[in-house]
Chains A and B, each alone.
Chain A
């Protein structure tokens, strides 16, 4: 029995057959995958999940891939949820946790969405996988296409960080560097879907792709002992994952996987250099997200025209969350703060998340006992250049001769 029933428009409710399409013909609203919830209710349970693989595929029942399909996997997900004692102490939070999604196969949370997207696309006969990307998505798509043996086209803005370009290129995809920013790349790809037979992960097969994000929140709840935290801090680019995390919390409750009725506060993080959702959240018209031209070191989340921005604001408001933003300096400081206190090296998007966490904590948002989880979604080596350009090497660096004398002269041992 198939568990997927079709696609449904989030705005007007129009229903569609399962297919590679992402917009409602009636109202242009986004389409979501519809599951046979009654059938799933009979099988989904904590013990069934706990017996599954140590990857995000332990939540397979809640993902849009039928049981008969061979999934394309590199062991993504089930990343560490670490209690952040030292960072927590600095911020006055006694129950702070970090979901370290930089531990994924290609070092960002994108492996979750791409594993689902490529599994779906291969099962539905697609031979070429494509995407419009700010870097991390292209990295994941290139790797998983190699793994699956599918053709691959990735489209990136021309000014991407060299480390990201190298990490993409090694998988030998067709790499199209577009002279423009991400929003230009995205528009081009949105027009290309009509003239290519390709599965664009974040465009025409987006309803399936997006679902992979939910596993981050499923895992967080399981790792907290099957309970949801009080608040989750999530970086926002398009807002796609933010929206799916709200849905994940709903499913955890509906399927009786977590106790309690309380929905976490969902809080969004943006860089001030690209803050269209934050701007709208703090305006009189949060339902109108006006595009901006991005200018920030947080390139992986530099989307000036975020497709899900309006939904982010709605969810943040409804759940008691906020959308906050940080400066370029605060991003770099937060990368260093996280590294210094917890031994985790995150990229600029993680700097945005931790920067917002720190800003809100210092502004007195929490009493101290709340369980707060920050999603650290990408690895620091991808954007290591921002540290060098910010203020050179480590302040504790010395250069010495290979002699005891030189060591004693230059290094103070306390």
Chain B
């Protein structure tokens, strides 16, 4: 199963879990599965149009999914999906 890495600010939603395993074929279905297990994640990660929110970065095995196929990115058995707040950096 693919593993989500949950950042500090969202662990209240995941009962404090740092990693959550989900059964999914692509990123969109992985987020659905995460939200089914711990309700609230979909709202935090996706906007009204169902797209990734501005301040959320999602990395599939350390690659920014926005550089690839976004929510359609294929997710495999041993993949790691990291959620990282976007506001950081500069310089």
- Taking Cβ atoms with an 8 Å cutoff, the residues of A that contact B are 11, 22-25, 27-30, 110, 113, 131-134, 136-137, 182-184, 186-187, 189-191, 194, 200, 202-203, 206, 210, 237-241, 287-288, 290-293, 300, 303, 305-308, 310
Give bound CA distance, A307 to B56, whole Å.
10
Chain B residue at minimal CB-CB distance from A213 = B90
Give bound CA distance, A30 to B64, whole Å.
20
**B57 is an interface residue with CB less than 8 A from chain A:** yes
Q: How far is the CB of B64 from chain A (nearest CB, A)?
A: 6
Are B89 and A303 in contact, with the CB atoms below 8 A? Answer: yes
Kindly list 5 other residue pairs between chains A and B, CB separation below 8 angstroms, not including A22-B88, A29-B87, A191-B7: A25-B12, A187-B57, A187-B62, A288-B54, A305-B86
- Taking Cβ atoms with an 8 Å cutoff, the residues of B that contact A are 5, 7-9, 12, 44, 53-57, 59, 62, 64, 66-67, 82, 84-91
Give bound CA distance, A191 to B12, whole Å.
17
Q: Which residues does chain B contribute within 8 Å of A308, judged by CB atoms?
A: 87, 90
Q: Which of B54, B57, B91 contacts A137 (CB 8 A)?
A: B91
A-B contact pairs, 27 of them (CB 8 A): A23-B9, A23-B87, A27-B53, A28-B44, A28-B53, A28-B55, A28-B87, A29-B55, A132-B88, A133-B91, A136-B91, A183-B89, A189-B88, A190-B84, A190-B88, A202-B91, A206-B88, A237-B90, A238-B90, A239-B90, A288-B54, A290-B66, A291-B64, A291-B67, A303-B90, A308-B87, A310-B54
Q: Which residues does chain B contribute within 8 Å of A287, judged by CB atoms?
A: 54
Are B90 and A202 in contact, with the CB atoms below 8 A? Answer: yes
Among A23, A186, A206, A305, the most chain B Cβ lie within 10 Å of the Cβ of A23
Give bound CA distance, A24 to B57, whole Å.
14
Are A134 and B87 in contact, with the CB atoms below 8 A? Answer: no
Are B91 and A300 in contact, with the CB atoms below 8 A? Answer: yes
Give bound CA distance, A237 to B5, whole Å.
27
Among B54, B59, B66, B91, the most chain A Cβ lie within 10 Å of the Cβ of B91
Top 3 nearest A-B pairs (CB, nearest first) are A238-B90, A137-B91, A28-B55
Q: How far is the CB of B8 from chain A (nearest CB, A)?
A: 5
Are B91 and A238 in contact, with the CB atoms below 8 A? Answer: yes
Q: Which of B9, B12, B66 contacts A291 (CB 8 A)?
A: B66
Are A307 and B91 in contact, with the CB atoms below 8 A? Answer: no
Are B53 and A307 in contact, with the CB atoms below 8 A? Answer: no
Q: Which residues does chain B contribute within 8 Å of A305, judged by CB atoms?
A: 57, 64, 66, 86, 89
Q: Are A22 and B89 CB-contacts (below 8 A) given A28-B55, A28-B56, A187-B59?
A: no
Q: Which residues does chain A contribute within 8 Å of B12, judged by CB atoms?
A: 25
Q: Which residues does chain A contribute within 8 Å of B54, judged by CB atoms?
A: 287-288, 310
Give bound CA distance, A113 to B90, whole Å.
11
Give bound CA distance, A157 to B12, whole Å.
33
Q: Which residues does chain B contribute within 8 Å of A206, judged by CB atoms?
A: 87-88, 90
Give bound CA distance, A24 to B56, whole Å.
12
Chain B residue at minimal CB-CB distance from A241 = B90
Give bound CA distance, A303 to B82, whole Å.
20
Q: Are A194 and B7 CB-contacts (below 8 A) given A22-B87, A305-B86, A307-B86?
A: yes
Q: Are A190 and B85 CB-contacts (below 8 A) given A29-B55, A237-B91?
A: yes
Q: How far is the CB of A243 from chain B (nearest CB, A)?
A: 10
Give bound CA distance, A132 to B87, whole Å.
13
Q: Which residues does chain A contribute within 8 Å of B44, judged by CB atoms?
A: 28
Chain B residue at minimal CB-CB distance from A207 = B87
Give bound CA distance, A342 to B17, whole Å.
58
Chain A residue at minimal CB-CB distance from B56 = A28
Are B90 and A307 in contact, with the CB atoms below 8 A? Answer: yes
Are B89 and A203 in contact, with the CB atoms below 8 A? Answer: yes
Give bound CA distance, A46 to B62, whole Å.
50
Q: Are A132 and B85 CB-contacts (below 8 A) given A183-B64, A290-B66, A305-B57?
A: no
Q: Which residues does chain A contribute within 8 Å of B56, judged by CB atoms?
A: 28
Are A191 and B82 in contact, with the CB atoms below 8 A? Answer: yes
Q: Which residues does chain A contribute within 8 Å of B7, judged by CB atoms?
A: 191, 194
